Structure 1
Amino acid sequence: MKFPITSAVVAVAVASGWALPAQAQDADSAAVQQELAEMRAMMARMAARIDTLEGELAQAEAKADAAQTSAGEAVASAAAAQETASKAPSIAWKGAPLIEGEGGWSFKPRGRLMYDVGFSSAPSSTGRADGFGNEARRARLGVEGDIPGGFGYKFELDFAGGEVDATDAYLSYGDGPIEVIVGQHNNFQSLDELTSSLHSSFIERAAFTDAFGFERRVGASVTYKQGIVLAQAGLFTDNINDTSSKNRGADARLVLMPKMGDAQLHLGGSVHYNDLDDPAASVRYRQRPFVHFTSERFVNTGNLAAASETGYGLEGAVIAGPFHAAAEGFWQQVSRPGALSDPTFFGGYAEVGYFLTSGDSRGYKSGKFDRVKPANPVGKGGFGSVQVNLRYDYLDLNDAGITGGIQNAYQASLIWKPTDYVLFSLNYGKQAYDDAVYAAAGGDTSYSVDAFGARAQVDF
């Protein structure tokens, strides 16, 4: 049997030194050369393929690197965009745009418009003007906001009455439970006085707040609020329009604000001292018959020479669901120069109120009444809130030989708030006077004056 001799066998044989016949060697050598050539060609093709694969691998790696770089750049770009977005001002809506920027900046415009109309009716024999009246009671525009570092500001002007007056104009600083205010702001007298006119239960506050001259003054104050405790104290000069006066005063107020179940309680007291520091200084206590658009005052002490004023107030309130009640008393003592007697005048009120609409309650915040927010406002399928209020209001300006008159007032109001920032109110007051400064027929100084007022109000 013949076996083919492959080139491999021949190569082995040759390597082993075997001797083959010459013819066989020639034939096999040619075959070996051919196979070697084929192997070299195959190896060349393999090398070329390896080069191709290495190129493709390099390209793939380059693409992967590029993709990874692009992904990193995309992540960095997204992070930068997020950081930029976080630094961009945000705008919220709280009755007006509230713009908040990086670092604690904020800016919010604010304003209010109250238009009153109605009438008053006094005995004709007194000779006092009465009848129809109307006015823009308040027309205010202002701004408020925060400044980085815990600071804040508020500035507001009132354009009612054909004059421009600054109401609030101050810089504040807050740190935890402490707030410091410098500028024109409310001093600390009376729950009814400190409650914003936007959130009061009648179109005018209790008689004693106006009669005793409660108003914003320029000064510096500190407020501490922690848990149920609110403590306020400040030193004041006079209203920003009367800074040429020599008035120097101090005010302090302490309030406890506990809750009893779902009911909010309010118990407070205040003290006021004002040194007039002028030998020619005088005070005058007087009050309108409920509505502001009449200029008549049926109780009036006239000008009294005075060296100082000292006042003491007590206040209490409760809010329980749709019901609220509030009462205050304030004693104002006048220190008069020389041998003149020192009178003490008194004012106070007691009121109750009730919401006729379900889910509504009077607001309360930081020691004063706050905004009513209807549970079912107009525009969202509801009617808004409807509230009725009754108040007894007392003012006694008789003492120490001074006859300024006594007012017993019986008042009622009906308030409709279709939304958080719109209000309509109907008010009636019957003021019964004793020792009125204007006598009726036969010298009678005991009579009553009726007053009716309606208000349309919007704020932002």
Structure 2
Amino acid sequence: MARWRGSACLGLCCLAGAPALAEEAKPDRRNPDQPNGETLTIDEKGITLAFPDVAKLRVGGKLQLDYGAAAIRQAGFPEPFPENFAVRRAWIESYLTLGKSLELAFQYDFADPMRPINDAAAAYTGFENTLLTVGNMKEPFSLDQLTGDNTTLFTERSLADAFAPARNLGFALGRHGKDWTVVASVFGGNANTGVGSEGVAATARATYALLHEDDRVLHLGLAGSFRDLPRDGQGLSLSSRSEAFLYQRNFVDTGDIRDASSVGRIGLEAAYRDGPFLVQAEYIRTEVERAGGARSVSFQGGYVQASVVLNGKGRAYKLAPDYGATYATFSGVQVAEGDRVSRGGIGVFELGTRFSAIDLDDAGIRGGIERDVTVGLNWYPDSNIRIVADYVRSHTSPSAVQGGRAIDADAFIGRFQLYW
């Protein structure tokens, strides 16, 4: 289990935990310490140093602390959570804007010793409504995956996220209009594990908003990805941790498909927002081609989830990102000034529920079939704090573990999240 050993992040966490102390150093041309009219802002968005028309640097981060308990109904199954507490993410991140056409981003996770570098990218924004981004970033695939870690509805993404390619090193060209987005990209492997270790992929995504108003959005999306895998014998493995980071073992797991020569993915997505209410769904199908004349195998998964913000505005629809390929996503819940606990309010509450499923059984590969039901409550006491409580009911039959027998599990996951 990963451990957080970063001390630099702790000081910034404490700083961000006091949004009421936000202050801004106003430019003063008579002050020799501010000869260029620069401003220094410290608030819930982090630390921002701006030089007018020249550069802007923002330093932020996130801290996610998870606590959980789980029970397996089948006798003889090992303890599902070897530890009940873990640091899920402990990020430090920086964003630098140079002039009016260059964006640089870097994110480092102290809680992940295997893949600490997340986004490390540079984007050119000089063309109208167009982004060209190079670096380690998310491939444009799956609305669930492209939603930021701070703003996912539950502590973890759905079972179908096992098919999303997530972050790798490459380049992406994206363009958007008033209601549509198109992104095309080419990627290699991940910057942490080796750029050439996972072959080369071409990934694209297109979205269109049939409705696009301030409080009403009807979003449709289509994504596809094809990756040619290297012939190094490592193959491909697909698995899911049952929507809880604390699980010691995956209930569904294909193991290494060592003769895999390529993997193709297609994803369909839809979402509808009406004020505080949001419902979204995805279906992903994955086909793995195999060398030596072996039959290809197909896997599938998907989810439907719904949420409602009980005493605040709904999740806004963001068409274009500042960099990268995360087009057409829904942002997090905003806490109005009067609702903040630090201002005498009670915070903002959000309810959510989800059904998700994954099928990793085909042509002699018995990875398992799992279905999960999740209900959760999010409380946003202030503008940069979230407290999450999720209950996940899992049913796996057959399972990749326990000799293919069925597994029924119940898990409660709580999270304290600080982000700035």
| TM surpasses 0.5 | yes
TM-score normalised according to structure 2 size:
0.85
Q: Which AA in structure 2 matches 1:102?
A: P
Query: What is the one-letter code of the residue matched to 1:156?
Result: Q
Instruction: Measure how far apart 1:445 and its partner are.
Output: 1.5
Q: Which amino acid aligns with 1:302?
A: G
Change (3 A) 1:121 1:419: same
1:1-23 deviation per Cα after TM superposition (whole angstroms, max 9, x unaligned): xxxxxxxxxxxxxxxxxxxxxxx
Distance 1:214 1:207 in 2: 14
Question: Who is 1:174 aligned against?
Answer: 125
Q: CA deviation at 1:169?
A: 0.4
**Structure 2 residue 167 is the aligned partner of structure 1 residue 204:** no
Counterpart Cα distance in 2 of 1:163 and 1:307: 25
Q: In 1, distance between residues paired with 2:198 and 2:114?
A: 24
1:346 aligns with 2:290: no
Aligned residue in 2 for 1:44:
none
* SS of aligned partner of 1:111: strand
Q: After alignment, is 197-206 or 379-388 more displaced?
A: 379-388
Paired residue type of 1:347: G
Change (3 A) 1:115 1:180: same
**Greater mean alpha carbon deviation, residues 344-353 or residues 295-304:** 295-304
Do the aligned residues in 1 keep the contact of 2:379 with 2:388 (CA within 8 Å)? yes
Query: Do 2:47 and 2:60's aligned partners in 1 also have CA atoms closer than 8 Å?
Result: no
For the pair 1:296 / 2:249, whether they are aligned, the reply is: yes
Alignment-mate amino acid for residue 52 of structure 2:
E
Equivalent in the alignment of 2:228: 275
> Structure 1 residue 130: deviation in Å?
2.0
The structure-2 alpha-carbon separation of the partners of 1:387 and 1:417, relative to structure 1 and needing over 3 Å to count, comes to: same
Q: CA deviation at 1:362?
A: 1.7
Residue 239 (structure 2) aligns with: 286
Give the aligned residue type for 1:303.
D
Say which of 271, 274, 285 aligns to 1:317.
271
Q: Deviations over 1:295-324 (max 9, x none)?
A: 211111111120010000011111111111
Structure 1 residue 384 and structure 2 residue 347: aligned? yes
CA-based RMSD of the aligned residues comes to 2.2
Q: Of 73, 85, 91, which residue of structure 2 is paired with 1:123?
A: 73
Name the aligned partner's letter for residue 201 of structure 1: L
Query: Contact 1:215/1:239 (CA < 8 Å) preserved in 2?
Result: no
2:164 and 2:178 map into 1 onto residues whose CA distance is: 31
1:18 maps to none
Report SS of the residue matched to 1:240: coil
Name the stretch that deviates more: 197-206 or 99-108.
99-108
Please say if 1:426 is aligned against 2:394.
Answer: no
Deviating beyond 4 angstroms after TM superposition, the runs of 4 or more aligned structure 1 residues are 161-164
CA distance in 1 between counterparts of 2:304 and 2:395 reads 16
Counterpart CA distance in 2 for 1:130 and 1:281 is 28
Does the CA contact (< 8 Å) of 2:283 and 2:301 recur in 1? yes
Code of the aligned partner of 2:105: K
Contact (CA 8 Å) 1:112, 1:458: kept in 2 or not? Answer: yes
Q: 3-state DSSP class of the match of 1:295?
A: coil
Distance 1:164 1:309, change over 3 A: closer
**Aligned pair partner of 1:138 in 89, 111, 117:** 89
CA contact (8 A) 2:350 2:378 kept: yes
Paired residue for 1:371? 332
Distance 2:292 2:202 in 1: 24
Which residues of 2 match residues 23-422 of structure 1 at below 5 A?
87-92=36-41, 93=43, 95-131=45-81, 133-148=84-99, 150-161=101-112, 165-175=116-126, 176-209=128-161, 211-212=162-163, 214-243=165-194, 244-259=196-211, 262-304=215-257, 305-357=259-311, 359-366=312-319, 367-375=328-336, 376-422=339-385
Q: More relative contact order in 1 or in 2 (CA 8 Å, sep 6+)?
A: 2
The runs of 5 or more residues in structure 2 that have no matched partner are 1-28, 320-327
| Alpha-carbon offset, residue 90 of structure 1 | 2.3
Question: Is 1:454 aligned to 2:414, yes or no?
Answer: yes
Partner of 1:6: none
Question: Can you list the C-alpha shifts for 1:184-229, whole angstroms capped at 9, x where unaligned?
Answer: 01101100000001001000001121x2253210001111022111
Q: Aligned AA for 2:348?
A: S
- CA gap 1:159/1:279 in 2 versus in 1, 3 angstroms: closer
Label 1:277 to 1:437 Cα distance change in 2 as closer, same or farther (>3 A): closer
What is the TM-score of this pair, normalised by structure 1?
A: 0.78
**Alignment check: 8 A CA contact 1:246 1:278 kept:** no
Consecutive unaligned residues of structure 1, counting only runs of 5 or more, are 1-79
| Cα distance in 1 for residues equivalent to 2:54 and 2:272 | 36
Opposite residue 111 of structure 2, the aligned amino acid is A
SS in 1 for 2:231: coil
Q: Quote the Cα distance in structure 2 between the aligned partners of 1:337 and 1:125.
A: 40
> Using a 3 Å threshold, how does the CA distance of structure 1 residues 370 and 427 change in structure 2: closer, same or farther?
same
2:201 & 2:354 partners in 1: Cα distance? 31
Asked if structure 2 preserves the Cα contact closer than 8 Å seen for 1:360 and 1:385, the reply is no
Is the 2:227–2:264 contact (alpha carbons within 8 Å) kept by the matching residues of 1?
A: yes
How has the CA–CA distance of structure 1 residues 110 and 178 changed in structure 2, closer, same or farther, with 3 Å as cutoff?
Answer: same
**Percentage of matched positions with identical amino acids:** 26
Would the aligned equivalents of 2:307 and 2:350 in 1 still touch at CA under 8 Å?
yes
SS in 2 for 1:257: strand
| Residue aligning to 1:25 | none
Q: Distance in 1 between matches of 2:333 and 2:271?
A: 16
The 3 A distance-change label for structure 1 pair 162 and 403 is: closer
Q: 1:318 and 1:144 mapped to 2: Cα distance?
A: 31
Q: Distance in 1 between matches of 2:281 and 2:189?
A: 28
Residue-by-residue CA offset, 1:397-416 (whole Å, 9 max, x unaligned):
11122221111111111000
**Structure 1 residue 164, shift from structure 2 partner:** 6.5
AA aligned opposite 1:125: A
**Partner amino acid for 2:281?**
A
Q: Which has the larger radius of gyration?
A: 1
* Contact 1:136–1:161 (8 Å) recurs in 2: no
Tell me the distance in 2 between the aligned counterparts of 1:336 and 1:163: 28
